[in-house]
Amino acid sequence: MRTQNYSRKRQAIYDLMLSTQEHPSAEWIYTKLKPEFPDLSLGTVYRNLKLLEENGAIRAVTVISGSEHYDAIMTPHPHFICNLCGKIQDLPAKFLLPELTSVKRIRGVGQIDLTSLIYYGCCEECSDENKV
């Protein structure tokens, strides 16, 4: 991990990541922080997200319609992603069965660092809207 100086903007990005239920993209974070940091640039958000990921402070969930989304909750847990609105929801860790996370190596395949379980479907808000 490369040595880092303190940076008020990086701190703000991380704090925002921690405080939200969203699974933000760079753009989302940029828009949220811009009022407080009028001189914030999108490049800084990208750089810091990458840095935080390298430091193990946050992790990438997946790419949704072209943009990467991040999660600051580092306890292993699955996600639910709505195919209609793209919203990502955390699922309780119990949905990630111990039989899955206990697998550390698959013979003839490789060593496992991370297990990603994602359910794709239609969230309740979207299915309610579609009924109306």
Partner DNA sequence: ATTCATGCAAACAATTTGCACCCTG
Partner DNA sequence: CAGGGTGCAAATTGTTTGCATGAAT
Instruction: Indicate which of DNA, a second copy, none lies near residue 131 (CB less than 5 to 8 Å, by partner kind).
Output: none
Instruction: Quote the CA–CA distance of 94 and 62 in Å, as a whole number.
Output: 21
Output 1 or 114, the one with its CB closest to a second copy: 114
The reply to whether 68 sits near DNA by the rule CB under 7 A is yes
Question: From the CB of 25, what's the least distance to DNA, in Å?
Answer: 6
Per-residue b or e along 38-52, where b marks 16 or more CB atoms closer than 10 Å to that residue's CB: eebeeebbeebbebb
Question: From the CB of 54, what's the least distance to DNA, in Å?
Answer: 11
- Amino acid 84 reads L
Identified binder of DNA from the candidate list 16, 22, 37, 93, rule CB under 7 A: 37
Interface stretch with DNA, choices 15-23, 45-53, 83-91, 102-110 (CB under 7 A): 45-53
Instruction: Quote the CA–CA distance of 77 and 96 in Å, as a whole number.
Output: 6
Output 49 or 82, the one with its CB closest to DNA: 49
